[in-house]
Structure 1
Amino acid sequence: MYSSALGRRAPAPSSHFHSWFQMCRKQKTTGMSGGHHDSFSLSFTYQSIGTTGLCQHTCFPVTFSKKKVSLLSVLLIGLWGSVACQGNPVEDICVAKPRDIPVNPMCIYRFPEKKATEDEASEKKIPEATNRRVWELSKANSRFATTFYQHLADSKNDNDNIFLSPLSISTAFAMTKLGACNDTLKQLMEVFKFDTISEKTSDQIHFFFAKLNCRLYRKANKSSKLVSANRLFGDKSLTFNETYQDISEVVYGAKLQPLDFKENAELSRKTINKWVANKTEGRITDVIPNGAIDEFTILVLVNTIYFKGLWKSRFSPENTREELFYKANGETCSASMMYQEGKFQYRRVAEGTQVLELPFKGDDITMVLILPGPEKSLAKVERDLTPEVLQEWLDDLAEAMLVVHMPRFRVEDGFSLKERLQDMGLVDLFDPEKSKLPGIVAEGRDDLYVSDAFHKAFLEVNEEGSEAAASTGIVIAGRSLNPNRVTFKANRPFLVLIREVALNTIIFMGRVANPCAN
């Protein structure tokens, strides 16, 4: 039994629990295919010394050879909608209670007692019909999003575009957390801000992820498409921990598909990349780079999401014209600048920075643009951006008449997450000597580690959309010079967010530094 200040080995699930999950293996998930994509991948590696597995506490002696095995986990953004288990009283995870879905990971991290802060006491009212923990999980994701973005921006040139899905990354590592123990589990809780949720133990996070997924991806609105798919690709020669498989499938919708990594590593890589391309309408290809999978790989986790939204107030193509875009290095390029006038949520903040919200049809998902003033660099806005500042800006948006100039653009980005996450404190997971991931493989191995993590994302913005509703805005046939209207002209680098409004969940985040690149 594992026992430490950070976690303990949870009791084995009951036979009823396992039989319920076996029924759930026959589940069918539903979703739509639709434009934005993002991907992320991890690599876990195990390393043994001698012939017996190393055990820090009390654990099973495991015999294995002097090898190094990597477990690659690729997670593209995405979540799922529903689970239907035939013959089971819980037919829909979206209406299930915590007691209906026993989550029993190998180790559990207990949160230290926390006193309510003044900020928590004055926080914005939780949206109606929203579970408090789901609301807190969404806020945790926003905290992680801004922190990770700053680390990423610091590592890139000011003239580089950036695009990612913090929700995808967070979801992927939550799935990894299912098999983690000790300091590895503690660091996962801290870096992804899961420890800010008012819950006593870490195992409850998975249930609230399921609820958050339901809020985000099960939408009656058919004007926008926000769908996803998860999958576990495991080496066919191994037996994976049953609880890990069960929770991954039922909570995250990730079924296990066997592949032959040992004999056909390259074919396996191509198979996974093909699956990803199919789930993202061909927008994300080659998310797993050459050499990332080899004969030591034992598991690849994949999470995908696809989003395509129609503007509530469309930009008329007749109004689009070529104009100069001023890049951070002082150079200019020719961009296709879209144009419209109408009522939008807007705010001008310190030093002339403008914040504009453009709704997609359905109003539940919006795009937020953050444009620095002419005398302020985007780099400074990025450095000063905190979760609290961002939340304040969004809370104080108010309707205003605007003249909007916005470039048509296409942004693709792909990068390794390892170094950025290490800088944020996720150290042990990537260290073969310190990583503790005993809850993934059935033998209870305590020698797995993440060798790398990859993320890839795509965003395209153009004029497409539906006619504006009367209360939101109208399409203007020509360009006017109305002095009473505020001008928002994104002809210099700006930040872009795509969020779910009710929960303020940041789904995508990025920087448009050069819309002329594609």
Structure 2
Amino acid sequence: MDLADSLLLLLAGLLFLPHGQLHPERYSLHQEPPSTGEGSPSLKIAPGNTAFALHFYHLMASQSPGSNIFFSPLSISASYAMLSLGARSHSKTQILEGLGFNLTEVSESDIHRGFQHLLHTLHLPDDRLEMHMGSTLFLSQDLLILPEFLNDSVAFYDSKLFLTNFHDPVGTTQLINDHIKEETQGKIVDLVSKLNTDIAMVLVNYIYFKALWEKPFQPSMTTTQDFHVDENTVVQVPMMLQDTAHHWYLNDRYLPCSVLRMDYKGNMTAFFILPNRGKMKQVEEALTPEMLTRWNRLLQKRHFYRKLELHFPKFSISGSYQLNEILPKMGFVDLFSRQVDLSGITKEKKLQVSKSFHKAILEVDEVGTQAAAATGIFTTFLSAWHNHRVLWFNRPFFVVIFSTNTQSILFLGKVVNPTKP
């Protein structure tokens, strides 16, 4: 039997683990999750997930102030929360606290059950949108994985584990890239390159999201317009137009920006935050969990549902991140070092997370949004001219894609130049 055959058989065995191996007190992966109302498990972890999302965002913004930013904080959080199942002592604490959780307020059990509930809720069948999310660990085939870690990672995170031969870096690279390409409907390709032969473990995460606007744009009304990247740079973009629809929209009284809420079919919504001219840095610094909560609350009031002439770009952007270089700056000090304790995964060898990648792609057009990830003239016109409200997204803006029933940020980013993929 050659190497390819043995890998295929091994993957099939891991991918089709019988549910009988799961702990009996946990509900099956195919059962309906509990209610998503107040007090549901996923809402207990929502504050921590939001804190992590904004911490990651601000770190990226400080490192690349003039670049597009786009990532899936939920995909990253779920992956590392899953990995914490195999961490011990201080390494476990660092991961969970790095993910934004105050362990004096939310227990480790609450965290895992929160993610279990959240992922099951997001995966419930809905013919109005497509949603695929998951985590995969690629481990050396020489390792004997502890059953508790295997069972818990499947039960709580619906994760997949692949055993592979890292002494064949070309074959392993192809295996990882093919897996992610398939899971993201072909949107994420060539995520990994140039793996070293001394690697024993690779963590990847993915999310694929495709949804239709509740109020789609008319393609016939899309025209080429200017987009002002900065004071000296203007690019041409296809600008979509809606001139008769009502939208959830506000011009913030306390912060120099406008906020637009656009709903998708299904339990998803998007917030686009457009800073006033020259106020990007001021608005960016004010992006906090409290501010997002405030906008979300305000944009549910009927007062802010009004007729708007909306000009919005049709675009595609992406973000690629080496998490093993970023997360240590967020408190994950031991995880990518020799000090990490992952003895809950295997007792045979001392494991170290060698690499972790994340890539996200956002496509917005007239009918809706596709987003995939693998772990908002320079003036907004609010004039009294014929009582006519006009909003031009023709300069950099922020985007937040939000799951309403789990109160979770799926994607977060900044569109600086919509012509740069």
TM range (shorter): 0.7 to 0.9
Choose the corresponding residue for 1:228, options 133, 144, 150: 133
Q: Deviation string for 1:148-188 (max 9, x for gaps)? A: 10001111141x11110000110111121111122221211
SS in 2 for 1:507: strand
Partner of 1:286: 190
Partner of 1:105: none
Partner of 1:154: 62
Given that 2:15 and 2:160 are in contact with CA atoms closer than 8 Å, whether structure 1 keeps it comes out as: no
SS in 2 for 1:167: helix
Q: Deviation string for 1:176-222 (max 9, x for gaps)? A: 111112222121121111226843x4244222211111122214x31
| Residue range with higher mean Cα deviation, 271-280 or 83-92 | 83-92
Taking a change above 3 Å as real, the CA distance of residues 97 and 340 of structure 1, as seen in their structure-2 partners, is closer
| 1:252 aligned onto 2:157 | yes
Partner of 2:362: 459
Partner of 2:297: 395
The 5 A counterparts of 1:345-364 are 345-349=248-252, 350-362=254-266, 364=267
Taking a change above 3 Å as real, the CA distance of residues 465 and 300 of structure 1, as seen in their structure-2 partners, is closer
CA RMSD of aligned residues (A): 2.8
The 5 A counterparts of 1:189-204 are 189-195=96-102, 198-199=105-106, 201-204=107-110
Counterpart CA distance in 2 for 1:426 and 1:23 is 29
Partner of 1:508: 411
Given that 2:22 and 2:155 are in contact with CA atoms closer than 8 Å, whether structure 1 keeps it comes out as: no
Counterpart CA distance in 2 for 1:412 and 1:383 is 22
Partner of 1:428: 334
Partner of 1:114: none
| Residue range with higher mean Cα deviation, 190-199 or 271-280 | 190-199
| Residue range with higher mean Cα deviation, 170-179 or 489-498 | 170-179
Given that 1:235 and 1:260 are in contact with CA atoms closer than 8 Å, whether structure 2 keeps it comes out as: yes
| 1:314 aligned onto 2:216 | yes
Higher-Rg member (1/2): 1
The 5 A counterparts of 1:238-387 are 238-262=143-167, 264-290=168-194, 293-341=195-243, 342-349=245-252, 350-362=254-266, 364-376=267-279, 378-387=280-289
SS in 2 for 1:418: helix
Counterpart CA distance in 2 for 1:305 and 1:193 is 20
Q: Deviation string for 1:37-88 (max 9, x for gaps)? A: xxxxxxxxxxxxxxxxxxxxxxxxxxxxxxxxxxxxxxxxxxxxxx688997
Q: Deviation string for 1:237-277 (max 9, x for gaps)? A: 22112111111122212233321112x12211111101111
CA drift at 1:351: 4.1
CA drift at 1:465: 5.1
CA drift at 1:324: 0.5
Aligned length: 389
Counterpart CA distance in 2 for 1:84 and 1:405 is 53
Taking a change above 3 Å as real, the CA distance of residues 406 and 251 of structure 1, as seen in their structure-2 partners, is same
Q: Deviation string for 1:8-42 (max 9, x for gaps)? A: xxxxxxxxxxxxxx999544xxxxxxxxxxxxxxx
Counterpart CA distance in 2 for 1:270 and 1:95 is 34
CA drift at 1:423: 2.1
Counterpart CA distance in 2 for 1:297 and 1:96 is 39
Q: Which structure dedicates a bigger proportion of its chain to helix?
A: 2
Given that 1:25 and 1:249 are in contact with CA atoms closer than 8 Å, whether structure 2 keeps it comes out as: no
Given that 1:232 and 1:257 are in contact with CA atoms closer than 8 Å, whether structure 2 keeps it comes out as: yes
Counterpart CA distance in 1 for 2:294 and 2:278 is 22
SS in 2 for 1:327: strand
Counterpart CA distance in 1 for 2:14 and 2:357 is 33
Taking a change above 3 Å as real, the CA distance of residues 331 and 226 of structure 1, as seen in their structure-2 partners, is same
Taking a change above 3 Å as real, the CA distance of residues 86 and 511 of structure 1, as seen in their structure-2 partners, is closer
Partner of 1:170: 77
* Structure 2 length-normalised TM: 0.85
Counterpart CA distance in 2 for 1:266 and 1:237 is 18
CA drift at 1:97: 9.7
The 5 A counterparts of 1:127-142 are 129-142=37-50
Counterpart CA distance in 2 for 1:303 and 1:453 is 9
Taking a change above 3 Å as real, the CA distance of residues 210 and 85 of structure 1, as seen in their structure-2 partners, is same
Taking a change above 3 Å as real, the CA distance of residues 207 and 89 of structure 1, as seen in their structure-2 partners, is closer
CA drift at 1:339: 0.6
Taking a change above 3 Å as real, the CA distance of residues 515 and 423 of structure 1, as seen in their structure-2 partners, is same
Aligned residue identity for 2:156: V
Q: Give the share of equivalent positions with the same residue, in percent.
A: 31
Given that 2:204 and 2:356 are in contact with CA atoms closer than 8 Å, whether structure 1 keeps it comes out as: no
Counterpart CA distance in 2 for 1:451 and 1:87 is 30
Counterpart CA distance in 1 for 2:17 and 2:351 is 29
CA drift at 1:89: 8.5
Given that 1:141 and 1:192 are in contact with CA atoms closer than 8 Å, whether structure 2 keeps it comes out as: yes
Given that 2:272 and 2:400 are in contact with CA atoms closer than 8 Å, whether structure 1 keeps it comes out as: yes
Counterpart CA distance in 1 for 2:222 and 2:230 is 23
Choose the corresponding residue for 1:213, options 93, 115, 119: 119
| 1:143 aligned onto 2:51 | yes
SS in 2 for 1:438: coil
CA drift at 1:483: 3.1
SS in 1 for 2:166: coil
Aligned residue identity for 1:248: S
